[in-house]
Amino acid sequence: MNYLPLFTALPLLGAFLIPLLSKIWERLSDIISNVITTLLLILSVYSLFLLPIFGKVYVYEIGKWAIKPIPLGIVFTFDNLSLLMVLVINLLSFACSLYSITYLDNYTARWKFWTLFLLMVAGLNGVAITGDLFNLFVFIEISAISSYALVAFGVEKEDLEASFKYQIIGEIAGLTILLAIALIYAKTSTLNMADIANTFAKESKGPLFWFIISLLTFGFLIKSALFPFHFWLPDAHSQAPAPISAMLSGIFIKVVGVYALSRLIFNIFGLNRLNASHYFNLLLILGIFSIVIAGFIALKQENYKRLLAYSTISQVGYIFVGLGLANFWSITGALSLIFAHALGKGLLFLTAGPVEKEAGSLDIHLLSNFKKRMSFYGIVYTLGALSLAGIPPFLGFFPKIFLILGAIKGKRFEVAIILGIFSLLTLAYLLKITNKVFTKKEGEEVKGVSSIVISFLFLVFLIFILGLFYLNYLEPNLISKATEAVISGVEYARLVLIK
C-alpha cells in the first residue's frame, strides 16, 4: 500500500495545477478535478480489498524515517477505521465533483472553486490517514480554511456573514485543539499518536490529563456541531453552494469532528466506559439534547437548506449517542450512520441546487406555489429522506437499529425509546419538503441536467444497494472491522509500533 500518500498528494497536485492550466482553457479545471476524485475513489475501493492482506494496520513511513526505536518520522497509519472514513470521503467527493460540472455554470471563477474543493478533499483524506498529532491539526486547518472560502463563494452579503461566523467559531476550536496538542507534546515529547498512547498508558489520569481531554473535546464538539456547539452550522450550511453544503454536512463535520475525537479518546487516550463513565455519559447526554432540540427546530424551519442543516445537527446527536453508549452495537450504529448520513444527506443537499436554480428561492412556502413540477428531483429527495429516517430497505435503516440495540445492551431503555420516537420525527420534517415542494400534479415538468442526474442516480444506487447488502457484505467486511478498531483502544499503538 505504498500508494497511501496519493490520498493527499493527488488533490494537492490538482489544486496546484488548476490555477495554471485553467489559463489555457477554463474547463480543464472540471476535467482535472473529476479525474482526481475518480482516482481517489478507485484507490479507496482498492484499499477495501488490499488492507486485509497487510493485517489490521498498514504504516507508511514518510521519507523512510523509521519509527523504531524512537518515532522521529511522520507516518500515515491506515486501519479499518481509516478505510471507512476514506471510502466515505471519496464516494461523496466523487458525486459532488460530478454534480459541480453543471452546477458551476451559475458561477464565475470555477477554477477557484475547484482549487478550494481539492484542498478540502486533501485535508479530509489527510485527517483520516495521519498517524501524527500535529499533522492531524495541519490537515484539519487545510480543510477548514478551504471550507471557509467555499461557504462564501457566492459572495452575497449572507454568504460572507455566514462564512465569517463559521471562520471565527472554527478557529476558536482550532486554537483550543492546538493548545491541547502543545500540552501533549510538553508532557510526552512526541507527536506520534501511537507513541503518545504508550506514554499516557503508563501514567495515572491526573488533572493535566483531564484538562487536555477537556480542551480536545471542546474543540472537536464545535467542529462536530453537536448541541450546544452547533450555532455556526445552520448559516454556513444553508448559505454555501449546494455541493459544498453536501460536503460539509455529509463528511466534513464527521471527519474533522467525530472521527478525530473518536480516534483520540479511544485509541490514543484509551478511554472507555469502565475507566471514564462520566465522560461517556456527558457525550450521551449532549447527543440526546442534540437529537431532541435540533429535531424540533428542524420541524419549524421554512427554508429548504436550513431545515436540512438542523437535521444534520440532530443526526450528529445520534452518532454521539452511539459513542456515549460505547459498546460494540452502539459504535457499529454510529459508524454505520456516518456512512449512511454522508450519502443520504449529501443527496438531499444536492437536490437544493437545481430547485433553487429553477425557482429562484429555497423558501418552502414560496416553493409550494411554484408553477413547475420537479418530479425527478422529488423522487430522488424522498428516497434520500426515507434512508435518513431509517426506513428499510435503505442503508439508513441499519444504523438506527444498531443504535437502539446498543441502548438496550447498555440497559438504557429510555434512550432506545427516544431514538425510535425521533426517527419518526426525522421522517416528519424531511417529508415536509416532499409534501410542500414536490407533490404538484400540474405545470411544466422540469428536466434534469446530465451530470447532476448522474450524481443523483449514483447516490440513490448506493443507499439502495448498500442497504440490500448491508448485513451480507458492508457490515461484516467494513463496519464491524472499523468498530473493532475503535473498541480495541490503545491496542492501536501496539499494532502501529510493531510494524
- One-character DSSP codes across 26-38: TTHHHHHHHHHHH
Exposed (0-12), middle (13-18) or buried (19+): which is 110, by Cβ within 10 Å? Answer: buried
Is the pLDDT confidence value at 347 over 70?
Answer: yes
Is the pLDDT confidence value at 297 over 90?
Answer: yes
Specify the residue for cell string 486501519.
79
Task: Give just the sign of the alpha carbon dihedral 148, 154, 158, 160.
Answer: positive
Task: Supply the range of the domain harboring residue 146.
Answer: 1-271+491-499
Q: Which residues contact 22 (CB under 8 A, 6 or more apart)?
A: 28, 29, 110, 111
> For the chain, what is the domain count?
2
Distance, CA of 231 to CA of 345 (rounded, Å): 19
Minimal CA–CA distance to 247: which of 366, 94, 44, 473?
A: 94
Is the pLDDT confidence value at 384 over 90?
Answer: yes
Specify the residue for cell string 454522508.
342
- Which pLDDT value is given to residue 59? 87
How large is the average pLDDT for residues 229-236?
88
Cβ proximity of 275 and 144 under 8 Å: no
How large is the average pLDDT for residues 383-411?
92
Shared domain for 362 and 215, answered yes or no, is no
Specify the residue for cell string 460530478.
98
Shared domain for 185 and 331, answered yes or no, is no
Shared domain for 61 and 181, answered yes or no, is yes
Provide the pLDDT confidence category of residue 441 given band limits of 50, 70 and 90. low
Per-chain mean pLDDT for the chain? 90
- Could you read off the pLDDT of 42-88 as tens digits, one per residue? 999 999 998 888 888 888 888 666 666 667 778 899 999 999 999 99
Shared domain for 243 and 360, answered yes or no, is no
Provide the pLDDT confidence category of residue 450 given band limits of 50, 70 and 90. confident
Cβ proximity of 375 and 409 under 8 Å: no
Phi/psi for 495 (5° steps) reads: -65, -35
How large is the average pLDDT for residues 214-226?
94
User: Reduced to 3 states, what is the DSSP secondary structure of residue 78?
Assistant: strand
Distance, CA of 297 to CA of 213 (rounded, Å): 30
How large is the average pLDDT for residues 482-491?
91
Shared domain for 223 and 78, answered yes or no, is yes
H/E element, 57: strand 57-61
- Could you read off the pLDDT of 102-131 as tens digits, one per residue? 888 878 788 899 999 999 999 999 999 999
How large is the average pLDDT for residues 367-373?
79
Minimal CA–CA distance to 7: which of 121, 142, 134?
A: 121
How large is the average pLDDT for residues 282-308?
93
Distance, CA of 18 to CA of 324 (rounded, Å): 43
- Could you read off the pLDDT of 186-216 as tens digits, one per residue? 998 888 898 899 888 888 788 999 999 999 9
User: Reduced to 3 states, what is the DSSP secondary structure of residue 6?
Assistant: helix
Provide the pLDDT confidence category of residue 499 given band limits of 50, 70 and 90. low
Phi/psi for 486 (5° steps) reads: -70, -55
Phi/psi for 192 (5° steps) reads: -70, 125
Shared domain for 385 and 400, answered yes or no, is yes
Helices 28-54/6-21 angle, 10° precision: 170
CA 298 distance to own-chain centroid: 20
DSSP string, 119-147: HHHHHHHHHHHB-BHHHHHHHHHHHHHHH
| Within-domain flag for 304 | yes
Shared domain for 128 and 195, answered yes or no, is yes
| Within-domain flag for 477 | no
| Within-domain flag for 486 | no
Provide the pLDDT confidence category of residue 408 given band limits of 50, 70 and 90. very high
Is the pLDDT confidence value at 230 over 80?
Answer: yes
Cβ proximity of 28 and 110 under 8 Å: no
- Which pLDDT value is given to residue 1? 67
How large is the average pLDDT for residues 427-436?
90
Distance, CA of 193 to CA of 333 (rounded, Å): 26
Is the pLDDT confidence value at 481 over 70?
Answer: yes
Shared domain for 89 and 195, answered yes or no, is yes
| Within-domain flag for 479 | no
Q: Which residues contact 248 (CB under 8 A, 6 or more apart)?
A: 147, 151, 236, 237, 240
For residue 393, give the amino acid letter: P
Measure the CA dihedral 330/345/450/90, to 10°.
-50
Cβ proximity of 197 and 71 under 8 Å: no
Shared domain for 193 and 109, answered yes or no, is yes
DSSP one-letter code for 361:
-
- Calculate what percentage of the chain has a pLDDT beyond 70: 96
- Could you read off the pLDDT of 127-173 as tens digits, one per residue? 999 999 999 999 999 999 999 999 988 777 888 888 899 999 999 99
> For the ranges 32-41, 154-163, 395-404, which has the lowest average pLDDT?
154-163
Cis check: omega of the bond before 243, within 30 degrees of 0: no
Shared domain for 413 and 394, answered yes or no, is yes
Cβ proximity of 4 and 122 under 8 Å: no
Distances (CA, A) of 47 to 12, 51, 58: 20, 6, 11
Shared domain for 12 and 87, answered yes or no, is yes
Distance, CA of 175 to CA of 185 (rounded, Å): 15
- Which pLDDT value is given to residue 64? 66
Phi/psi for 260 (5° steps) reads: -60, -45
Query: For 395-469, where are the alpha helices, taking DSSP H only?
Result: 397-409, 413-437, 450-468
How large is the average pLDDT for residues 381-400?
92
Shared domain for 321 and 427, answered yes or no, is yes
Q: Which residues contact 102 (CB under 8 A, 6 or more apart)?
A: 449, 450, 451, 452
Distance, CA of 116 to CA of 143 (rounded, Å): 9
